[in-house]
């Protein structure tokens, strides 16, 4: 958390919103990452190139900002510091739960929070509210009962 500044968070939010808006305006496509990846797994005709380009752009964007010292904190780096088989298995299981949750919720947190709310989707507003309340509850329970 020592690298957090409100300005970098604001700049990141502006860039996310701008890229999502540009994709929607120019292609009528929604920039929800789970939907983009889902479309790669079940491709339709003339629908693959923009998805691949979007993902390549996401990956390359990290390389573009890295020279400015904007990198992931060690706690978010992969592979984890303790890259034992047990921790990698735990990450894989967590990824499956995330994938199941995005399917169940018809999108991921970023898709609902950035794109859905920007489009005034009632479903996304309810989903984002649920994400935030759930996160607050987990933080409260962890602080009250200690590390779970």
- Of 76, 32, 77, nearest to 54 by C-alpha is 32
CB 54 within 8 A of CB 23: yes
CA–CA gap between residue 117 and residue 131 (Å, rounded): 13
- 107-145 pLDDT, tens digit each: 888 788 888 888 899 999 999 999 899 989 988 998 888
**Rounded alpha-carbon distances, angstroms, from residue 76 to 45, 80, 81:** 36, 8, 10
Evaluate if pTM is beyond 0.75: no
Classify burial at 101, counting beta carbons within 10 Å of its beta carbon; exposed 0-12, middle 13-18, buried 19 or more.
middle
Can you give the residue ranges of every domain in the chain? Answer: 1-72
- 18-43 pLDDT, tens digit each: 888 888 888 888 888 888 888 888 88
CB 56 within 8 A of CB 36: no
């Amino acid at each position: 958390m020592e690298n957090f500044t409100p300005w970098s968070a604001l700049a990141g939010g502006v860039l996310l919103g701008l890229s999502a808006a540009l994709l929607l305006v120019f292609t009528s496509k929604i920039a929800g990452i789970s939907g983009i990846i889902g479309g790669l797994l079940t491709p339709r005709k003339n629908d693959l190139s923009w998805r691949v380009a979007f993902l390549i752009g996401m990956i390359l964007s990290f390389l573009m900002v890295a020279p400015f010292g904007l990198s992931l904190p060690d706690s978010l780096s992969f592979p984890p510091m303790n890259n034992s088989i047990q921790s990698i298995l735990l990450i894989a299981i967590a990824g499956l739960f995330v994938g199941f949750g995005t399917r169940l919720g018809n999108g991921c947190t970023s898709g609902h929070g950035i794109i859905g709310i920007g489009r005034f989707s009632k479903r996304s507003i309810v989903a984002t509210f649920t994400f935030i309340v759930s996160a607050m509850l987990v933080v409260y329970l962890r602080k009250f009962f200690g590390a779970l």
